Amino acid sequence: MTSGRLFSILTRNKISWDPGTLLRILFLLQSSLWSSLFSSLENVRFGKRIKQAPCPVDPVFIIGHWRTGTTLLYKLMSLDEQFTAPTLFQVAEPDSLLTSHSYYKPIMQALVKKTRPMDNVKVGMDEPQEDEYAIFRLTGTSPLEQLIFPQNGKYFVEEWAKNERSDKTNELIKKELKSFFRKITYVKKGIILSKNPFHSFRLDMLLEAFPKARFIQIHRHPFDVVPSTMNMWYILQKENALNRVNHKFNIYEICRGMNLISEKITIEASALTPGSYAETRFEDLENDPVMTVKQIYTQLGLVFSERQANLIKEYTSLNRNFRKNNFSLSESEKATIKSELKEYMRKYAYS
């Protein structure tokens, strides 16, 4: 993140000053100086060309709650050459992705872990990554801010979903996301493929920015999603928080968040035109990835090739020993989830 945006975020939030936090902030500050420098260079070298480049109008957005299989679907679809998906490096340095790649590559390869902290999913500079990180760095506004600066008694997803964003904020996000997608397609032509659970709350805004956008929702059994999400937020907060609040995520909060996303998607999807929305289950994707992806393509009017089928088979074969996280729930916890997500489980036929 460039220095100006970083200073703005740090000054409007409460920070717990201890050795660990101080080291993180010092790292962020020096990083922001380099980001600002490369951003300025990029504007000089490519600013005019990017502004004149055509803006994609038909991105495909993978939405749905966290831990429902959005990443797996994203990886399988990003194998298709007709798509271009933002990479880890591009969302990490969205201000300078055209200029700074060769400088950051050895540093990121040394610092970035080989797998995500909350599971065993592979991470790499050129691996597809969700664009919320780019949005946060480009606009200085994102629900991720509340994960970094947690508040007592408040689940940040729920708080963010309930608060209406100003027209000014929405316009800023649309402007920067369009610019970011221009850069992505400047590097590699193709249909933009985006995976971002936070976009589940932005369907109307995304359609304003990208009139021919298409959306894919993936869902999964809540007995898998709820404990996995609790674990994910706990780890990400622990690794990134800059204060000592350390909010404890619980089943009730995660269930309310799942309900909010499901309700929002249901409302917004009902207004979408035929061929712009598809829905699938993680369980189907896991059991038969080729047929499931093919069905999604058919629903969205996309061409599914034999080459894509072979690439999915190859990816599945290479990752056949991948071990998912396993979480055990007590009967009481299962009963709570069933009660809190009664409508969700009915709608998606989970028992």
What domains can be seen in the chain, in order of their start residue?
Answer: 54-347 (3.40.50.300)
pLDDT at 185: 95
Q: Tens digits of per-residue pLDDT, 141-194? A: 999 999 899 887 789 898 888 777 888 999 999 999 999 999 999 999 999 999
Q: Judge contact between 269 and 200, C-beta under 8 A.
A: no
Classify residue 256 as left (phi > 0), alpha (psi -120 to 50) or beta. Answer: alpha
Rounded Cα gap, residues 322 and 318, in angstroms? 9
The length of the chain in residues reads 351
Above 80 in pLDDT, residue 324? no
Q: Give the percent of the chain with pLDDT over 70.
A: 98
The reported pTM is 0.93
Mean pLDDT of 278-306: 96
Token look-up 């975020």 returns 9
pLDDT at 165: 80
What secondary structure does DSSP assign to 271-302, as a single string?
Answer: TSPTTSEEEEEHHHHHH-HHHHHHHHHHHHT-
Q: Judge contact between 247 and 152, C-beta under 8 A.
A: yes
Number of CB atoms found within 10 A of residue 276's CB? 17
Q: Tens digits of per-residue pLDDT, 210-230? A: 999 999 999 999 999 999 999
